Amino acid sequence: MQAVIFDGRQITVNDIPKPEPPPGFALIRVLKAGICGTDLEIVNGYKGFKGVLGHEFCGIVEQSDNSELNGKRVVGEINVSCGHCNFCKNNMARHCSNRQVMGILGLNGCMADYCVLPLLNLHQVPEKITDRQAVMLEPLSAACEILEQVSLQGNEKAVVLGDGRLGILCAWVLAGLLEDVTLVGHHQEKLEKAEWRHLKTVINKFNTSEKADLIVEATGSASGFREAVSLCRPRGTIVLKSTVSSSIRIDLAPVVVNEIAVLGSRCGDFNDGLRMMLTYPDLKIERLIEAEYPLNSAVDAFRHAAETGVLKVVLKMD
Amino acid sequence: MQAVIFDGRQITVNDIPKPEPPPGFALIRVLKAGICGTDLEIVNGYKGFKGVLGHEFCGIVEQSDNSELNGKRVVGEINVSCGHCNFCKNNMARHCSNRQVMGILGLNGCMADYCVLPLLNLHQVPEKITDRQAVMLEPLSAACEILEQVSLQGNEKAVVLGDGRLGILCAWVLAGLLEDVTLVGHHQEKLEKAEWRHLKTVINKFNTSEKADLIVEATGSASGFREAVSLCRPRGTIVLKSTVSSSIRIDLAPVVVNEIAVLGSRCGDFNDGLRMMLTYPDLKIERLIEAEYPLNSAVDAFRHAAETGVLKVVLKMD
């Protein structure tokens, strides 16, 4: 089969053997795979991952011990946990201390004709949801994780910094629940694409006299963190959504003085993403996809995804 | 009266007029005033404060509209709030957007023969508590703020980084509630002084296979933050206790990946500090005082307090 491989230096599309699913795993024929900010970071050295890239996909189960799932369209949670450690036993399997993470840590990814994942990780995709929507479930669920971490009443003022893929998804998740959500970005065309319901968008610099209760930092830059701190009310919350592969210089004194809570936030539960997609069919999440490339043009696709101002780029195997 | 004044460049002890208490304020004859890490930061330019230094004191009310309090020994909360803003109305007066802070922001401090504070800020000191203990109430209450911010069950594993004044107080506050608390520092003599109950102390580097649920960062350094992140379990909590006047270079990716909550933590409620002092008479908090200087030797006292390895230095006016 064909697969997009990162060898620690460069990306190539190679012919490799089709994977053999271990016990409890399913063999999945991949239909589409998304390129995520984390993939771009990995290619820049983050986590030192080598192997088949990719962790956002939609595919069809070709072979598994669950006959009901064979032939069905699925998406998959990317953390493969041990099931035995304290985290697994305490409902924190995504933090399993022995975990492998598809395309990120110790496990080949989904940018290939086939991939394998435990049956436990799979979610069947309802018919109403298209392939182009389903491939967006992983990042949408990651955005939904905010709601698991922050208890919202509905009257909060929220600001999302960063009009990239994840920033827009976070803004949409919050706009589903809160009246007062502002997305701040640097690209007019992205902000226009992000418009949905009562979501407010602001270009470049958000000036507000009233500070916000909740800030989502999705720029991944030092200036984004500084802006988040300056926009956050005392005892407010900043959710950190982006992983960047380098250190940044920041001043933590205002975090202390204003007793701000800074919460790291990573993957989410796919059930939350699925629920959101079904609740808001008008969201048309697939509008974030800017381009689709065949698998063997993955190098071009990565180049495109890394360009400033580009939203989601997807690989298609179908 | 004599007062310790910082003019933006240096500390001097000057003769200035005794303050006139505005309506609602009390005139307090200061008995003792402590030198805190924040005072040392101010002298290095933090907050740009100019005026009479100091915010930790114990004194006697000389003049006020509350005849019952006149002649009584008091300590005082340092944030002077407006009483009208949203924060004041929502039980967050310490975050009042118009606040003045004694010896830190817009209000003269307590390193003088006399100071003024609103009657509302004062707490009478029970007879059982000595002057040397009472002057430690402000930092002890600040340490108690952790308990307001983090909900503890009692079985958590906690680590406090930094064997300075505030680090030791935080370790004591936690050791009053939790069985498993470790204080990590770099000074054998400070760690020995910190011993209390079942508090564990570790010199230099804490090696543990089992990560902690709660880390208190009280070193104020970039390496302290990094160590806190490396010791914190996924979904654990790091409390930031020190304000430093400069930026530090840190990597936030592990905070995101492990979904760590980083909580800024500042002043606390004096009632919590008083309660702790009365509950644990065996604590002997005054053992953190290394030296007392007369007010007119404040320059020497500041020099002493700034030395590495020195705990609390106090000015005495009595």
Residue B214's nearest CA partner among B171, B276, B166, B164 is B171
* B167/B201 Cα distance (integer angstroms): 12
d(CA B175, nearest CA chain A) in Å: 22
Span A105-111, average pLDDT? 96
Residue A263 has pLDDT above 90, yes or no: yes
How remote is the C-alpha of B225 from its chain's centroid? 19
Q: Is A226 touching B (CB cutoff 8 A)? A: no
Q: Is A85 touching B (CB cutoff 8 A)? A: no
Q: Which helix (H) or strand (E) holds A249?
A: strand A248-250
Q: Is B248 touching A (CB cutoff 8 A)? A: yes
Contacts of B46 in chain A (CB under 8 A): 253
* B67/A219 Cα distance (integer angstroms): 57
pLDDT category at B37 given cuts 50, 70, 90 is confident
How far does chain A reach from its first CA to its final CA, in angstroms?
Answer: 13
Beta bridge partners of A106: A101
d(CA B258, nearest CA chain A) in Å: 7
pLDDT category at A182 given cuts 50, 70, 90 is very high
pLDDT per position as a tens digit, A16-68: 999 999 999 999 999 999 999 889 989 988 778 999 999 999 999 999 999 99
What is residue B98's three-state secondary structure?
A: coil
Q: Write down the pLDDT at residue B92.
A: 87
Q: Which range is least confidently modeled, A100-114, A278-292, B87-101, B178-192?
A: B87-101
DSSP per-residue string spanning B201-215: EEES----SSPEEEE
Residue B117's nearest CA partner among B253, B53, B26, B49 is B26
Backbone angles phi, psi at A99, to 5 degrees: -70, 150
Q: How many residues does chain A have?
A: 318
Span A98-104, average pLDDT? 93
* A256/A95 Cα distance (integer angstroms): 27
Is the distance from CB of B233 to CB of B209 less than 8 angstroms?
Answer: no
Residue with tokens 């479930």: A137
* A50/A298 Cα distance (integer angstroms): 16
DSSP per-residue string spanning B24-75: TEEEEEEEEEEE-HHHHHHHTTGGG--EE---EEEEEEEE-S-TTTTT-EEE
Beta bridge partners of A159: A182, A215
pLDDT category at A245 given cuts 50, 70, 90 is low
Say which amino acid occupies A113.
D
Is the distance from CB of A23 to CB of A119 less than 8 angstroms?
Answer: no
Q: Is A147 touching B (CB cutoff 8 A)? A: no
Is the distance from CB of B76 to CB of B53 less than 8 angstroms?
Answer: no
* A77/A118 Cα distance (integer angstroms): 9
Tokens of A212: 């916000």
Residue B279 has pLDDT above 80, yes or no: yes
HEC-encoded secondary structure of B227-262:
HHHHHEEEEEEEEECCCCCCCEEECCHHHHHCCCEE
How many other C-beta atoms lie within 10 A of the C-beta of residue B86?
12
Is the distance from CB of B148 to CB of B300 less than 8 angstroms?
Answer: no
Q: Is B242 touching A (CB cutoff 8 A)? A: yes
Return the biggest CA–CA distance within chain B: 59
Question: Mutate which of B49, B156, B252, B266 to disrupt the A interface (most A C-beta within 10 Å)?
Answer: B252
Q: Is there a contact between B257 and A248 if contact means CB atoms under 8 Å apart?
A: no
pLDDT per position as a tens digit, B96-120: 988 999 999 999 999 999 999 999 9
Tokens of B234: 């996924």
Contacts of B241 in chain A (CB under 8 A): 256
Is the distance from CB of B237 to CB of B178 less than 8 angstroms?
Answer: no
Sheet holding B212-217, edge to edge: A200-203, A180-185, A157-161, A212-217, A232-240, A261-264, B261-264, B232-240, B212-217, B157-161, B180-185, B200-203
Is the distance from CB of A244 to CB of B249 less than 8 angstroms?
Answer: no
ipTM of the prediction greater than 0.90, yes or no? no
Is the distance from CB of B248 to CB of B225 less than 8 angstroms?
Answer: yes
Is the distance from CB of A290 to CB of A313 less than 8 angstroms?
Answer: yes
Chain B (5-44) residues lying within 8 Å, Cβ to Cβ, of chain A? none
In angstroms, the Cα distances linking B168 to B13, B33, B143, B207, B281 are 30, 19, 9, 19, 16
**What letter does residue B103 receive in the DSSP assignment?**
T
Is the distance from CB of B139 to CB of B166 less than 8 angstroms?
Answer: yes
pLDDT category at A244 given cuts 50, 70, 90 is low
Chain A (164-223) residues lying within 8 Å, Cβ to Cβ, of chain B? none
How many other C-beta atoms lie within 10 A of the C-beta of residue A225?
26
Radius of gyration of chain A (CA): 19
B100-102 and B79-80 strand pairing:
antiparallel
Span B217-241, average pLDDT? 92
pLDDT category at B281 given cuts 50, 70, 90 is very high
Q: Which range is least confidently modeled, A65-74, A151-160, A248-257?
A: A248-257
Residue A198's nearest CA partner among A186, A213, A185, A182 is A182
* B216/B183 Cα distance (integer angstroms): 9
User: What's the mean pLDDT when you consider all of chain A?
Assistant: 93
How many other C-beta atoms lie within 10 A of the C-beta of residue A303?
14
Question: Mutate which of B262, B265, B266, B267 to disrupt the A interface (most A C-beta within 10 Å)?
Answer: B262
Is the distance from CB of A317 to CB of A293 less than 8 angstroms?
Answer: no
Question: Mutate which of A150, A248, A257 to disrupt the B interface (most B C-beta within 10 Å)?
Answer: A257
**What letter does residue A176 receive in the DSSP assignment?**
T
Question: Mutate which of A40, A247, A252 to disrupt the B interface (most B C-beta within 10 Å)?
Answer: A252
CA of B247: which chain A residue's CA is closest? A251
Q: Write down the pLDDT at residue A215.
A: 98
CA of B95: which chain A residue's CA is closest? A234
Angle at B307 between CA B301 and CA B312, to 5 degrees: 55
Contacts of A147 in chain B (CB under 8 A): none
Nearest to B262 among A92, A235, A262 (CB): A262
Residue B46 has pLDDT above 90, yes or no: no
Angle at B198 between CA B197 and CA B203, to 5 degrees: 110
In angstroms, the Cα distances linking B73 to A124, A308, B126, B136, B199 are 70, 64, 8, 14, 32
pLDDT per position as a tens digit, A198-215: 999 999 888 878 899 999
Q: Is there a contact between B264 and A257 if contact means CB atoms under 8 Å apart?
A: yes
Q: Is there a contact between B249 and A244 if contact means CB atoms under 8 Å apart?
A: no
Is the distance from CB of B24 to CB of B120 less than 8 angstroms?
Answer: yes
How far does chain B reach from its first CA to its final CA, in angstroms?
Answer: 13
* B167/B174 Cα distance (integer angstroms): 11
